[in-house]
Structure 1
Amino acid sequence: MRRGVAALPTALRASKGGLLVLALLVGAGAGLGAIAFRWMIKTFTLLLSGHADYAAAGHAANPHVPWLGRWFVLLTPVVAGLLYGPLVQRFAKEARGHGVPEVMYAVARRGGRIAPQVALVKSLASALCIGGGGSVGREGPIVQIGSALGSTLGRVVRVPEDRMKVLVACGAAGGIAATFNAPLAGVFFAMELILRDFTAEAFGMVVLSSVTSSVIGRAAFGDTPFLQLPALGVHHLSQYLLFALLGVIAGAVGVGFTRILYWIEDACDWAWRGPEWARPAVGGLLLGLLLLVLPQMYGVGYPVLENAVNGTYVIGFLLLLLVAKIAATSLTIGIGGSGGVFAPSLFMGAMLGSAFGLTAGHLFPGAVGPVGAYGLIGMGAVFAGAARAPITAVIILFELTGEYTIILPLMTAIVLATGVSRALSRDTIYSLKLRRRGIDLDEKPAGSPFAGLTVATAMEPLPKTLDENQPLSKAADILAASPHGVLPVLTADGSYLGIATARAAAETLADGTHDTTTIAYITHRPGPITADTNLSEALDALVATEGAGLPVLDPARTHLTGWITHQSVLTALHRRP
């Protein structure tokens, strides 16, 4: 019986059926996480504003503090900031901001490893930020929450890094699918922005996770389109020219939003001199002033978006809301808030598109069609201009609204917006955050000096191995004496389990609660390297992993045959004729 239980993690790690089971588990976890996250947002919004969605309440008073009248919004972001600021600073600094770039970086550079506490901290911080008036969305947080769940499950089972990345993408897709009732959009968001790799196996696993999460989400939220819009359609062929022009303008607006967002963040960095944990609370005063003037900026603002698409507002007010949303979202992120930029880009697109439609209606009466069509197309086009993810933009707008009648003009506008964005800016709203840190996910070496070399030319003899049942305290001494700070870990029957690093041992022992823990607790399994692996790929794996060495496995990837280090790679290059 014990042998069967012990074999379960191995089966999950190695078999295709195991990956399928893990994808289903991640999808279920992401679905439940999305339900909990939306419940937290609703709860904190009710507690802090007294309304289910204050963006639609005008200048109403908070029934919890009626004596403050409309002025309570000055304090709401401050109170929320006092709660989530220390939480993020103390437990998970990566939970600050809009979340998606951190997941992209984890997949591209860290083998899909995301700290497990990120899921809890991000959900609490983002729910408090949005509930307290932060003008951000929930797609970034739910992507980071779902991805953290996938990464945590992968670390528990100790899957290889290639499968870890797939599980992270599964979590991202599941989060989007459940929270927006959009399973297809979840899949393409994960593939286009997170994995950026359309392999058949990865696609299949992400689809399974997204469907599982969506089923759970629909059981909780119902099976209806996320936005309720009037009937839309294209009434004249001449409208295609107007839709194309809107796409060009929307692409420029998406790029402008990206630049203003980071410009305001830089300004906040320059101005702030106090402790980081207090930054959201102090900066919340500025956000409160904006909310006092325009309460429509409170939280995500979907009711305001629907009003705009339904033709409720006049042109001047629509443009005011567009500019205010750019400022409010940028300020929320700049002061250290936690939330996504996808929903704000939809909001901006709805304001821009509706204003464009109304203006065109005045200039060309009778040939323009319903304003809502322009609002909807503007939503997709501004998101495409900011994120440069055209497939996701088309699919997600279709699923969020259930409108198929304007799919052709929607595709036209989104493609043009993407082209304009690419012409105006090298980066997207997600990649620019990473490039500002010196990280370029698209950077490829011009040529590899390792071409034609395999790991077999650089293998070293095996270092000392650790047994999975060895106490962590004893194994830490052996790791401390190892030349590269990393050693392989074997199971009781001599099979390869993974690697353990001196850094992980030190961090685990530092809390004083793991003295009786075995080395298996900190063991993880990097992407498999065999003697036939290209040496350039092996070096990439070395750079991405902790420590300075990696095991070389037999073709079955169950037993060790050698060891590879940075020094052995350089030696192989030096000896090359």
Structure 2
Amino acid sequence: MFLAVVIGAGAGAGSVVFRWCIQAFTHLFSGHADYAATTGADNPHVPWLGRYVVLLAPVVGGLLYGPLVDRFAREARGHGVPEVMLAVAQRGGRISPKVAVVKTLASALTIGSGGSVGREGPIVQIGSALGSTLGRMTAATEGRMKLLVACGAAGGIAATFNAPLAGVFFAMELILGTFSAEAFGATVLASVTASVIGRAAFGDTAFLDLPDFHVAHLPQYGLFALLGVVAAMVGVGFSRFLYLVEDACDWLWRGPEWPRPAVGGLALGLVLLALPQMYGVGYPVLERATEGGYAIGFLLLLLVGKMLATSLTIGIGGSGGVFAPSLFIGAMLGAAYGIGVHDLLPGTAGAVGAYALVGMGAVFAGASRAPITAVVILFELTGEYSIILPLMLAIVLATATSRLLTRDTIYTLKLRRRGIDMEGPVRGARIGAQRVGAVMETLPSPLPSSMALTDAADLLRLSGHGALPVLDDAGKYVGVVTAQAVAEALAEQPDAAPARIGELAEPPAPVTVDQPLAQALHALLASAGTGVPVLDPAYGGPVGWLSHQSALRAVHDAAAHPTYG
């Protein structure tokens, strides 16, 4: 708990320094506090350049941060969160301490010189690097190290966005990928500490100043639900487009990496010349969109422009986050959608700003599949509680739609493209890389779903497995029934217990013969019995049995024979 407070203080101080650096570099390169709000004004430092200053700013910025990243910390390139997720999942929470310094400078230079990215990815990586460094200094165990990394991420988000609750849920939902009382307590302490420091430096104000919204007509919920589905498709599309542009930049660039941001900065400068609203994070443009300050056509142009500008910034080697661009894209989509439905249903649609706000959360949820974080962070960033019900509805639908459309999120897709499976074994590891089909046991005799409960109880008692597969009358796999479920049914409701065993069968998480053992272990550990059936992916029926003993035997054999696999 003490370390969590220390890390929170460090992350809070780091976020203050980071934001000051962004402000300083933005003023240096553009001559304004936020160039996106000036729509093409001259830089008073070099007035003779006129509006063409945005053509050169990314080039000069790239000349500064390109060599810095290439020489000292290449992991500081990009949007940062995937690297932290990987460090926690497969590297014991170890992050190089120099990442904090390099990421601060590189991201501030990227955003200040016009890079159309956000500040949440960098601050997550900065805070996590601080947590990892303190963990190594105190010789923390691997579990504690991961928790300290999460504390750094929570503190960074909390301080930079004045959103302490969002910092906590971001750390648990995206960084740790799990919820526990210990993790919640530690991340809350870090988040609160960082928020106090952030509020002392920047004040306690909401991210957006919006009028009160309310749902006046029940049909509006249907409109918000449809927006959630559309936003999911836009969020997934943004993820795909981001890496498509990055692939194109990789294919086009054949030289050393250090000058790549400067050369690619010319392309980014052309986008900024056409749409100066894309300069930097773009919060003033976002706020104006929520107020209904743009027409539909221009909103859609800004949406596409942000996708292109952010993707170019990342593709040329810039450093910055994708959370703020997701909010920007969502606001443009929501505002355009709101204007459209208001024109079609003027007496029912309601305020355009409500759709912009819901679109922000739904696009982020569709891209990241972090619904709790999306709901909480939108509430904290706006202070707008009256829209919470449609916000929750749209975000949940966006998350579900995204899951149907793609396996990956905007964060995990970056890792999968590098051949890293967050659910599989560490790359190059022998232990856990075996296929389930090579280590599974013979399938125990399945129970017919029509078997009486008492007869099934006897067979379960004699089987020694604690669980058995169940097939219906046509021989189709139904699920697994456990001895515990049968015992509870007979003991707690003897008169109302199901007559047939099939009524108690439940399918566990699927394990197939071609899965890596490391991935199948998640399903095995979550199962109620001593094992799970192994399915043939061709027809979905059980062909073997993976027990704790067979998994341990495979791991032992791999450790004893290093050439295995």
The TM-score, its normalising length taken from structure 1, stands at 0.75
Tell me the equivalent position of 1:266: 247
Q: Deviations over 1:101-150 (max 9, x none)?
A: 00000000100000000000001000000000000000000000000000
Answer whether contact 1:381 1:393 (CA < 8 A) is retained: yes
Q: Deviations over 1:525-572 (max 9, x none)?
A: xxxxxxxxxxx99xx9xxxxxxxxxxxxxxxxxxxxxxxxx9986466
Q: For residue 202 of structure 2, what is the amino acid of its counterpart?
A: F
Q: Distance in 1 between matches of 2:216 and 2:106?
A: 46
Tell me the equivalent position of 2:15: 34
Q: Distance in 2 between matches of 1:231 and 1:54?
A: 29
Q: Distance in 2 between matches of 1:202 and 1:381?
A: 26
SS in 2 for 1:276: coil
Q: Deviations over 1:490-521 (max 9, x none)?
A: xxxxxxxxxxxxxxxxxxxxxxxxxxxxxxxx
Q: For residue 27 of structure 2, what is the amino acid of its counterpart?
A: L
Tell me the equivalent position of 1:200: 181
> Does 2:72 align with 1:91?
yes
Q: For residue 303 of structure 2, what is the amino acid of its counterpart?
A: L
SS in 2 for 1:75: helix
SS in 1 for 2:92: coil
Answer whether contact 1:23 1:205 (CA < 8 A) is retained: yes
Q: Give the one of 288, 292, 297 matched to 2:273.
A: 292
Tell me the equivalent position of 2:190: 209
Answer whether contact 1:301 1:347 (CA < 8 A) is retained: yes
Tell me the equivalent position of 1:353: 334
> Does 2:71 align with 1:78?
no
Return the offset for 1:228.
1.4
Tell me the equivalent position of 1:134: 115
Tell me the equivalent position of 2:536: none
Tell me the equivalent position of 2:29: 48
Return the offset for 1:420.
1.0
Tell me the equivalent position of 1:151: 132
> Does 2:98 align with 1:102?
no
Q: For residue 230 of structure 1, what is the amino acid of its counterpart?
A: P
SS in 1 for 2:258: helix
Q: What percentage of residue pairs aligned between the two structures are identical?
A: 73
Tell me the equivalent position of 1:397: 378
Tell me the equivalent position of 2:315: 334
Answer whether contact 1:142 1:175 (CA < 8 A) is retained: yes
Q: Distance in 2 between matches of 1:570 and 1:323?
A: 50
**Are residues 571 and 215 of structure 1, via their aligned partners in 2, closer, same or farther at CA, if it must alter by over 3 Å?**
closer
Q: Deviations over 1:321-342 (max 9, x none)?
A: 0000000000100000000000
Answer whether contact 1:383 1:393 (CA < 8 A) is retained: yes
Structure 2 gap ranges (5+): 426-431, 441-516, 522-553
> Does 2:95 align with 1:114?
yes
Return the offset for 1:373.
0.1
Return the offset for 1:202.
1.5
Q: Within 5 A, what are the aligned runs for 1:219-368?
A: 219-368=200-349
SS in 1 for 2:293: coil
Tell me the equivalent position of 1:60: 41
SS in 1 for 2:201: helix
The TM-score, its normalising length taken from structure 2, stands at 0.77
Q: Distance in 1 between matches of 2:222 and 2:404?
A: 20
Aligned Cα RMSD in Å? 2.0
Q: Distance in 1 between matches of 2:238 and 2:167?
A: 24
> Does 2:187 align with 1:178?
no
Answer whether contact 1:449 1:573 (CA < 8 A) is retained: no
Return the offset for 1:573.
8.2
Q: Distance in 1 between matches of 2:123 and 2:557?
A: 40
Q: Within 5 A, what are the aligned runs for 1:503-518?
A: none
Q: Deviations over 1:391-416 (max 9, x none)?
A: 00000000000000010100000011
Return the offset for 1:230.
2.0
Q: Deviations over 1:63-82 (max 9, x none)?
A: 00000110111000000000
Q: Distance in 2 between matches of 1:424 and 1:161?
A: 35
Q: For residue 409 of structure 1, what is the amino acid of its counterpart?
A: P
Q: Give the one of 345, 368, 389 matched to 1:387.
A: 368
Q: Give the one of 363, 377, 384 matched to 2:358.
A: 377
**Are residues 156 and 316 of structure 1, via their aligned partners in 2, closer, same or farther at CA, if it must alter by over 3 Å?**
same
